[in-house]
Amino acid sequence: MSQVLVPLADGFEEIEAISVIDLLRRSQIEVTVAGVSGRSAMGAHQIAVQTDATLDEVVERPFDMVVLPGGMPGAQTLRENGQLAHKIKAMNDEGKWIAAICAAPMALAAAGVLVGRRATSYPGFLDEFEDVRQTGAPVERDDRIITARGPGAAMDFALTLIEVLAGKETRDTIEAGLQRP
């Protein structure tokens, strides 16, 4: 079973975090939600989430994927977290999956894993990184790095993560159950 780390910092975007966590868990993918500054995090729209652990407690564990939700100031906090930057670099070096949505791709760019790669984000959040090939796509995959534009792309982002971790059949089953138009 795949192991996924989802770090949450205060100010995370709820749609991007909760829908992704929910759909991954529906797919029988083990998700560890880790609070950056404790065992809970407050979303950008004042929804409190109790995490499974703190980032300090799990950062050294092996994971198959790390998923960074956006939202502000949560994504900026993720960008500035040295432990997380080290984890992202290590997972990239190990050929693991790395994913981020909305403002959070800036944390990947700051960690140096988007150099020369295609990526997308909420408008403006990758502009300072001239070495990133911004596509503007709702969801962008470049090798083992997956990025998405924002809250409106959260479902497609989550389904893409499911497909790479659990296969197209699992993705199709989960998507059918969502009753999307």
pTM score: 0.96
Distance (Å, whole) CA 140 – CA 59? 26
Q: Are 25 and 58 in contact (CB under 8 A)?
A: no
Distance (Å, whole) CA 35 – CA 54? 5
- Residue 100's pLDDT is 99
Place of tokens 């990133």: 132
The one-character DSSP state at 133 is: E
- Copy the structure tokens of residue 137: 């796509």
Q: Please report the DSSP string for 27-92 in residue order.
A: TT-EEEEEESSSSEEEBTTS-EEE-SEEHHHHTTS--SEEEE---TTHHHHHHH-HHHHHHHHHHH
Reported CATH class of domain 3-178 = alpha beta
- Residue 43's pLDDT is 98
Per-residue CA distances from 58 to 32, 44, 66, 105, 138 (Å): 8, 24, 12, 21, 30
Q: How do residues 10-25 score in pLDDT, each as one tens digit?
A: 999 999 999 999 999 9
Distance (Å, whole) CA 19 – CA 171? 14
Query: Is the previous residue joined to 69 through a cis bond, with omega within 30 degrees of 0?
Result: no
Q: What is the CA radius of gyration of the chain?
A: 15
Q: Are 132 and 117 in contact (CB under 8 A)?
A: yes
Distance (Å, whole) CA 29 – CA 22? 10
User: Which residue stretches of the chain have pLDDT < 70?
Assistant: none
- Residue 1's pLDDT is 87
- Copy the structure tokens of residue 147: 């990025």
Positions annotated as catalytic residues are: 102
Q: How do residues 75-89 score in pLDDT, each as one tens digit?
A: 999 999 999 999 999
Which sequence spans correspond to the domains of the chain?
3-178
- Residue 181's pLDDT is 82
